[in-house]
Amino acid sequence: MNWEVVIGLETHAQLQTRSKIFSGSSTAFGAEPNVQASAVDIALPGVLPVLNREAVVCAIKFGLAVGATIAPRSVFARKNYFYPDLPKGYQISQFEIPVVSGGGLDIRVGAGDTAKFVHLTRAHLEEDAGKSLHEDFHGRTGIDLNRAGTPLLEIVTEPDMRSSAEAVAYARALHALVQWIGICDGNMQEGSFRCDANVSVRRPGEPLGTRREIKNLNSFRFMQQAIDFEVQWQINEIEEGRAIRQATVLFDPDTGETRAMRTKEDAHDYRYFPDPDLLPLEITADWIALVRSGLPELPQAMQQRFQSELGLSAYDAAALTASREMAAYFEAALESAGRDNAKPVANWIMGELSARLNKEGLEIAAAPLSAPQLAGIVRRIADNTISNKIARDVFDALWAGEGRDADAVIAARGWQQITDTGAIEALVDEVLAANQKSVEEFRAGKEKAFNALVGQAMKATKGKANPQQVTDLLKKKLGV
């Protein structure tokens, strides 16, 4: 009998503000411990939080980008728990009325054209906690409160995902989106984008099983590994007759296992209540309209445009909008190569260019080959100046910084295709004379011999002859 996997994700995206959500401390990463922790952040008595406008703008941008409802009035609440890196004894968060509710994201698993819509439950503003350092401080724990009060948007999905691959696809799509709209730098190593996965299993059609929450997944690879391990563990437990108990678990990348951290306190233990230090947050329709007017074209809209205006497939359109930088590169190349070349430009970016970037660990913004340079290659293939094979050599040369553009490289290396019919004809004659054996074989009905002759001719021109022209001429000469 089959098991169905049910996954919901909670993501903490650190918002790209200069100052903290409730104080004027800097949010810059990597400072000396506690030098960016003000009286508000360390919760000295008598201090009051004042909300950062930019953090709210980030939340509005996100709400608009996922087609969610933005609450005209939302409320900040205290989430009470004791931990040394939370100096107030509560985290300021949102509970009953979050700033963003509903909406969702299209995700794609694998190379297919079909997208799946993952529904979002909500997204709310909250403050981050500090950091506990458990290294050796004579058996004591060190506390750094620089991160305390950093603005976060916690983005919560419905339990819509059915596999670790879908969970990763969602996380990647969300990761790309928050960077696209410029609200989060997406740096997972620095903890700017952290995911918790709620995982349960059930028999198809049955009510949801008991979930366990995997905390702090800070890479997509770990997310996949952790969920796969957790799913197998839960299935084994149930099949061996043990019930799953709700728990918070941690993933250990060294062993590839998840293990329970503490039994989950039920939500009431947090004793949420509206924070009397903060008034309701009002977001007017005018403010939303203003934020909307400043948003870039969203990946979804751009994908549709690429499909309808350029005739690209849904898969190509999704790949080209994987990041704003990628989309900008494509559009710049397209501008220079012309719309008729949309498909070859797309292919070169998704193929040769992406492979090379990957291999050298570069981001597309740092590609040594500019978009107009790539477009130059595509143009010269389109007008038959070079073959696809030579184009790859031109690509290599431009990548290595040799030559200003494709034309310069082609001219310097003498790589123009030989299109002069007379020259090719002479060459074909030579090839036929030198390869009598293949000619006889072909005449005797061996089709493969023809390909050998084309190969010989191409070799004789070092790949510079137009393959179609060579083929046509050979056929003519052999009387086919």
**Dihedral pair phi/psi, residue 14, rounded to 5°:** -75, 125
Of the residues 4, 29, 33, 478, which one makes contact with other proteins according to CB under 8 A: 33
Q: At what angle do helices 220-239 and 164-180 cross, to 10 degrees?
A: 150
Name the amino acid, one letter, at 29.
F
CA nearest neighbour of 234 among 246, 220, 216: 246
Q: Which is nearer to other proteins, 109 or 278 (CB)?
A: 278
Stretch that binds other proteins, among 77-85, 158-166, 228-236, 351-359 (CB under 8 A): 77-85
Within residues 320-379, the interface with other proteins by CB under 8 A covers: none
Within residues 271-310, the interface with other proteins by CB under 8 A covers: 271, 274, 276, 278-282
Maximal C-alpha separation, the chain:
99
Residue 402 CB, shortest distance to other proteins, in Å, is 46
**Dihedral pair phi/psi, residue 147, rounded to 5°:** -80, -20
For residue 39, state whether it binds other proteins (rule: CB under 8 A): yes
Q: Which is nearer to other proteins, 20 or 380 (CB)?
A: 20
Residue 133 CB, shortest distance to other proteins, in Å, is 6
Q: Which is nearer to other proteins, 55 or 457 (CB)?
A: 55
Which DSSP category does 54 fall into? Answer: H
- Structure tokens of 346? 């797309």
3-state helix/strand/coil string of 206-264? CCCCCCEEEEEECCHHHHHHHHHHHHHHHHHHHHCCCCCCCEEEEEECCCCEEEEEEEC
C-alpha gyration radius of the chain: 30
- Structure tokens of 209? 């099983």
For residue 13, state whether it binds other proteins (rule: CB under 8 A): no
For residue 252, state whether it binds other proteins (rule: CB under 8 A): no
- Structure tokens of 13? 């995206």
Of the residues 100, 145, 227, 386, which one makes contact with other proteins according to CB under 8 A: 145
Q: Which is nearer to other proteins, 240 or 266 (CB)?
A: 266
Distance between CA atoms of residues 390 and 382, nearest Å: 13
Stretch that binds other proteins, among 45-53, 107-115, 204-212, 317-325 (CB under 8 A): 45-53
Stretch that binds other proteins, among 42-50, 187-195, 335-343, 429-437 (CB under 8 A): 42-50
For residue 50, state whether it binds other proteins (rule: CB under 8 A): yes
Residue 251 CB, shortest distance to other proteins, in Å, is 13
For residue 218, state whether it binds other proteins (rule: CB under 8 A): no
Name the burial class of residue 124, with classes exposed (0-12), middle (13-18) and buried (19+) by CB atoms within 10 angstroms of its CB.
Answer: buried
88: CB partners within 8 A, 6+ apart: 43
Residue 207 CB, shortest distance to other proteins, in Å, is 29
298: CB partners within 8 A, 6+ apart: 65, 180, 181
Q: Which residue has the tokens 């913004």?
A: 365
For residue 216, state whether it binds other proteins (rule: CB under 8 A): no
List residues near other proteins by CB under 8 A: 17-19, 23-26, 32-39, 42, 44, 50-56, 73, 75, 80, 82-84, 97, 132-134, 137, 139-145, 250, 261-262, 269, 271, 274, 276, 278-282
